[in-house]
Amino acid sequence: MADTFDDVLDRFRRAAKGFEHHLRAVPPGGWGAPTPCPEWDVRQLANHMTRGNLNYVGLVHGATREEFLAQRDADALGDDPVTAFTASAEACTAAFAGSGALDRVVDYPMGALTGRRALAVRTADSVVHTWDLARALGAGDTLDADLVAWVDDGYDDIFAGLAVDRFFADPPAGAPPASRQDRLLTRFGRDPR
């Protein structure tokens, strides 16, 4: 079996493209629409993703967890959310493609991680938030099946030892859903019904 962290840069690119696809479909009046993340509307979710990408760039370049968290909610969208997100995804890809970046230990807020593992966390977050955005827009919310399988199969490796309970909601009550995507979303505190 392949290592969970093989091809993580390509997986991040694919996850970012999935989010961008839905972001381009936000109608002019849709930025205030609620999302499955109770604390965020569509614009706040897009900002979380954009700012997150930029914060990961900072980690690769030596930023501390304190600096990461201090910037977490700062506006990164300006007047053009789609362009801002796309540029942030490209910057994140470039940073992690840099020499030694995937092996460098970064000061991630949930604990010190290699760049490779930090990017895996970022990719998993991107996959789940793509579903959040699709749901908010009432769009097709079927995720990239290969990415779903990768996050689901690699979950324990990706999040081993991290205090994920500080960041993920509890799974909804009830019987586990039948589809792999729904099981994964439930694992991240989403109710896919």
- List pLDDT tens digits, range 104-119: 999 999 889 999 999 9
pTM for this predicted structure:
0.94
The residue to which tokens 């900002």 are assigned? 47
Residue 7 predicted with pLDDT over 90 = yes
Output DSSP code: residue 105.
E
Nearest 5°: the CA angle 148, 22, 171 is 45
Report which secondary-structure segment, H or E, holds 180: helix 180-187
Amino acid at 180: R
Is a pLDDT exceeding 60 seen at residue 166?
A: no
- Helix, strand, or coil (residue 113): strand
Q: What is the pLDDT averaged over residues 35-53?
A: 96
- What's the burial of 144, exposed, middle or buried (CB within 10 Å: 0-12/13-18/19+)? middle
Structure tokens at 73: 């909610």
SS3 41: strand
Question: For residue 167, is pLDDT > 90?
Answer: no
CA atoms within 13 A on the CB side of 172: 14
pLDDT at 32: 97
